[in-house]
Amino acid sequence: MGLLPIGINSCFEWRERRDIRQRSSQAIEIARQRVSFLTDLMQAYEACAVEQLDAMRQEIAGDLQKLHRDLAKTLTRLEQRSSPKKSNPERRNTLQRVFLAYRPQGAIAWTLHILYYMLLGLIAMLIFVSGCEPGGTMCQAWTMEEFWAYFPPLMLGSLVILGPPMLAINLLAHRSDRAARRELRRQDEEREQQDQARHTTTAIADTVATLDHISADAPHHRPH
């Protein structure tokens, strides 16, 4: 029950991120289409009368500037959501997954890794202490007979007692790692969308500059 608020909050955050990604993708696609259309339209209108050309230029320039502001807002939301650091999630081999031999991502993953290695250390300590002489302070070397007589049952007992919690922690650590890597990939995708949005805003600015140039040259055109 204590994890229920965390789960609900995660669902809301996921839905909000999905909505932002959808809106940004739609805005970028619409911007590309409109910039392409308006650029072609202005090229076609260069031969129009001066009065018509000036009115059309003002209308199209206002539309482009509004689109520029909308894209700037979308870009700001994406920058607030994503980290400035470029992520590069690495692949995990079997040995790394079994012993959690990789750098964890996030506070939860760090906590799980620490607990896992504490349990491993506890198993090692139990084996070491069990190999000591009863009532003594120094450990003696095991003979082969003593090794096969004491070590397998001791190892089995340690795994029976500490194995289930270690397995649970290992699985939770993997789930946390996968979630962190998915988040890193999502941030990379959002950064790519930011680059696309910046490219589109640059195209809009170039188009507005072209419109201003056409407007400045408009008095030299002759009505057809």
Least confident of 93-97, 167-171, 176-180, 196-200: 196-200
DSSP 46: T
Q: Is residue 75 packed enough to be buried (19+ CB in 10 Å), middle (13-18) or exposed (0-12)? A: buried
CA 66 from centre of chain: 30
Q: Is residue 70 packed enough to be buried (19+ CB in 10 Å), middle (13-18) or exposed (0-12)? A: middle
pLDDT per residue as tens digits for the range 111-143: 888 888 888 888 878 777 665 554 444 455 566
Q: How far is CA 222 from CA 53, 199, 218, in A?
A: 11, 35, 9
Token pair for 79:
């920058």
Which residue shows structure tokens 């003979």? 143
- pLDDT value at 196 more than 70: yes
Of residues 82 and 148, the one with the higher pLDDT is 148
In b/e form, how buried is each residue of 44-67, taking b as 16+ CB within 10 angstroms? eeeebeeeebeebbeebbeebeeb
For the whole model, what pTM was predicted? 0.43
Of residues 30 and 121, the one with the higher pLDDT is 121
Instruction: Give me the pLDDT at residue 14, please.
Output: 57
Q: Which residues contact 216 (CB under 8 A, 6 or more apart)?
A: none
CA gyration radius for the chain?
Answer: 32
Closest Cα partner for 67 from 213, 197, 222, 216?
Answer: 197
Instruction: Give me the pLDDT at residue 155, please.
Output: 74
pLDDT per residue as tens digits for the range 54-100: 676 677 777 777 777 777 776 666 666 554 444 445 677 888 888 88
CATH class name, domain 4-88+189-220: mainly alpha
**What is the Cα–Cα distance from 183 to 91, expressed in whole angstroms?**
15
Closest Cα partner for 24 from 152, 161, 201, 209?
Answer: 201
Closest Cα partner for 67 from 35, 20, 19?
Answer: 35
Of residues 87 and 32, the one with the higher pLDDT is 32
- Round to the nearest angstrom and report the end-to-end CA distance of the chain: 77
Instruction: Give me the pLDDT at residue 2, please.
Output: 34
- The structural domains of the chain, with segments of one domain joined by +, span 4-88+189-220, 94-184
